[in-house]
Structure 1
Amino acid sequence: MSDNTEVGVIGLGKFGFSLASALTDLGHEVVGVDFNPENVRKAQDVLAQVYQADATDEKALKQIGFADLDKVIVSTGDSMEASILVVLNLQALGVEKIWVKAISEEHERVLYKLGVPFVVFPEAFVAFQLAHRLATPGIHEYFGLGNDVVTREIIVDAWVGKDLRELNLTNTYHVQVIAFRHAGEAEFHFVPQADRKMKEGDVLVLLGKTQDVMQIDKF
């Protein structure tokens, strides 16, 4: 999300509202949706646009204008069923880039099977990271490798049929591919082979300086 654009956030609870606020601070125009009037009131003074609506209703999302968005985050609380219905609605509207907060490993697997490109499991991620830092002194945080060092997930499209040796990303863009995930799978594989041919829908994880990582816009 390097370009400042309009982003939809469905679900304005603790995680959704915090993420929407952070996106706003980064210069994005955020369209927020929540069924809870209290969450809507809280977000009205922070976000560009906020609507009280049922996101499990495809017509409601279409009326709000979500068919015109290509980036949407789904954070619908503890309801796996609601999350899945919202995802299906967004896919029916033609939204291509969907990020979804998963509430369990089962939920995560279902989302990947539905073709959701980006699934976030914040509680598990934080717990895993903290456990390793406590158990292994000196281990780096994922985002603690230095100033302005980030990771970025990208979905393979134009690079289909090519391998990492051909792309030469380290010398061309000064970034390193540290992991990959097959399309439709939840598990990442680390230290990818340089001669492995990429397939459509594969996800690559890049590591590098923010400016270098974000300059890659055709993949």
Structure 2
Amino acid sequence: MAGNNEVGVIGLGKFGFALAKALTDLGQDVVGVDNDAENVRRAQDTLAQVYEADATDEKTLSQIGFQDLEKVIVSTGDSMEASILVVLNLQTIGVKNIWVKAFSQEHERVLYKLGVPFVVFPEAFVAFQLAHRLAVPGLHEYFGLGNDVATREVVVDDWTGKTLRELNLTNAYQVQVIAFRHSGESEFRFVPQANRVLEKGDVLVLLGKTEDIIQVEKF
């Protein structure tokens, strides 16, 4: 059964399995789910736990213990209906930190409307980075400022009703908020004002040294 120190990955196709393997290599215990027997067999020697199961069935996810997981990634191929149903099931059993692979802009918009905090569009993201690195030499330094620097997205919960000035993250943790996104919206806004009142479900992007940024909690 799954535990709260593990990460769930639903869908072990090319992207899902590559992500699950990368997480495992980083020391994370990954619980994988897929309804394809071949995908399950491929992952069995790599992941901590693998289940051949239908994630569109809410009872199945509950039996595996996904309600106890802190983070779940959904990568269910090119079926929008299946992806949305899995998300709704996860929300119903109480999973809050949900990351979903989107495969179209329409899919992305629907996921944000459902309140999914993190939507990943791999092809578009990689294409965007590559295009800008080709067109503007040196711009890639924004995406990688060194081994000791990282960005982190956090979803506002306990910080609801507070301002960035009140949180004083720069002095408390030596990190800087460089962007934010309102809950339910897909576009980020940059350089937020210090007196902006945070709302539940807002997403903040933090920048800082890796050792500092991982210390930020209770957001």
The TM-score with structure 2 as length reference comes to: 0.94
Match of 1:140 in 2: 140
Describe the shift of the 1:77–1:111 C-alpha distance in structure 2 as closer, same or farther (beyond 3 A): same
Residue correspondences, number: 216
SS of corresponding position for 1:140: helix
Deviation digits for residues 80-115 of structure 1, max 9, x if unmatched? 111001001111111111110111111111111111
Q: Distance in 1 between matches of 2:119 and 2:165?
A: 28
Q: Distance in 1 between matches of 2:126 and 2:135?
A: 14
User: Does 2:191 match 1:204?
Assistant: no
Match of 1:16 in 2: 16
Deviation at 1:67, TM superposition (A): 2.3
**2:102 counterpart letter in structure 1:** A
User: Does 2:111 match 1:111?
Assistant: yes
Match of 1:180 in 2: 180
Deviation at 1:169, TM superposition (A): 1.3
User: Does 2:115 match 1:85?
Assistant: no
* Structure 2 gap segments, 5+ residues each: none
CA RMSD of aligned residues (A): 1.3
**2:59 counterpart letter in structure 1:** K
Q: Distance in 2 between matches of 1:57 and 1:142?
A: 41
* Runs of 4+ that moved beyond 6 A: none
Match of 1:101 in 2: 101
The TM-score with structure 1 as length reference comes to: 0.94
Match of 1:192 in 2: 192
* Structure 1 gap segments, 5+ residues each: none
Identity within the alignment, %:
80
Q: Contact 1:143–1:149 (CA<8 Å) still a contact in 2?
A: no
Match of 2:215 in 1: 215
Deviation digits for residues 40-67 of structure 1, max 9, x if unmatched? 0000000011111111111221222222
